[in-house]
Amino acid sequence: MDFSTLCIHGNIEKYDNTGAVSVPIFQSATFAHPGVGESTGFDYTRQQNPTREHLENVIKKLEGGVDAIAFATGMAAISAVMELFSPGDHIIASDDLYGGSHRLFHHISMKNGIGFDLVNTSELSLLEGLIRPNTKALFVETPTNPMMQVTDIAAVAEIAKKHQLLLIVDNTFLTPYYQQPLKLGADIVIHSGTKYLGGHNDTLAGFTVVNDEEIAERLRFIYKTTGACLSPFDSWLLIRGIKTLPIRMDKQQENAEKIANWLCEQEKITAVHYVGLPTHEGYEISKRQATGSGGMISFEVDSEETAKHILEGVSIIQYAESLGGVETLITYPMLQTHGDIPEEEREAKGINNRLLRLSVGIESAQDLIAELARVIKGE
């Protein structure tokens, strides 16, 4: 079945007999038992709910996994994955991470006894030198947030398998429509469903998708025990959003390509980070492992003053956190998504007071470029 068809018909199981085209929202905390020791398959919504199960079955099909779990947020999904590890374990992670992941690792996971080394995972030669006897996993974002570094997933998977490590890939930016890490050798895929999967900036969600039954069982146990489940109504919003995922992402990518090329020609723009540009250092790897470049652009301007003028001058484009929705959003990573990272560490990665991140929406590219032209010129 084609990906676009799976987005709409990825779960054929019916949960009622009304003929409803849209899956019902089973807004129930608990479910009655037919008899002693008997179950309908649903007992308590923290463990499972028909609306959420429908969503999970769709995500499982799209990523090609054996199980998918829907969480209340993307950070809840990552937090659950961290519960797979024990005090004394060591994880190697991308050094250009979403700020929330960095905050979780450094302020929660480390407190719980898990050690981390952060490295540019696009530099494969650096990885094996960091592996220790207690290393248990590699955690990769690709493309990274916000510097858009690209990691060769298949090559990292070979390293992981050689050393019997789990490979965890955050696939939020490209989604399974453009990139499928499990097929490239990853063991666990993570999503912030808030972003492209939901697609409308109206709900929070997170996902884990795995290719191993044992890992799935362990995550299900963590999930039902810690209770960070996605609600029935939010599950329904994600089901609805995913139905239009391919057409939204194709439009966002089309717009992003036009904007990235335009930015490259502007005098006040000193750097453009977009994986769809042939000049991007990860361009060839991205072409090999992904079918698209997505809608995320980071760019650096000539001064802090220019950056602030852009942020305060936009109107169609909105100055807001988050990404992946139909509305175009612009973000100041140093103050917003990465504000909790120490300044020296942040600056070393290029996340400075001149860097802006653009999540391109589905508006007219002409209108978006006209607005950028106006605010970049200082009008």
Q: Is 15 a catalytic residue?
A: no
195 a catalytic residue: yes
d(CA 154, CA 248): 27
β-strand 67-71 against 206-210: which pairing, if any? antiparallel
* H helix or E strand, kind and range, residue 56: helix 50-63
Contacts of 211 by beta carbon, 8 Å cutoff, 6+ apart:
64, 65, 66, 182, 186, 187
Backbone angles phi, psi at 174, to 5 degrees: -105, -20
| Catalytic residue, candidates 52, 136, 195, 349 | 195
Judge whether 78 and 206 are in contact, CB under 8 Å: yes
3-class DSSP state for residue 172? coil
Q: Exactly one of 170, 248, 251, 274 is catalytic; name it.
A: 170
- In the set 61, 89, 96, 98, the catalytic residue is 98
The angle at the Cα of 191, spanning 345 to 128, to the nearest 5 degrees, equals: 55
Q: Which is catalytic among the residues 15, 46, 103, 287?
A: 46
3-class secondary-structure state, position 206: strand
Please spell the DSSP secondary structure of 294-349, one letter per residue: -SEEEEEES-HHHHHHHHHH-SSSEE-S---SSS-EEE-TTTTTTTTS-HHHHHHT
Q: Is 212 a catalytic residue?
A: no
Residue 98 is among the residues annotated as catalytic for this protein: yes
**Calpha distance 96→119 (Å, rounded):** 8
Hey, which bits of 195-288 come out as E strands?
206-210, 269-273
Residue 5: name the closest of 41, 64, 58, 65 by CA. 58
Residues identified as active-site: 46, 98, 170, 195
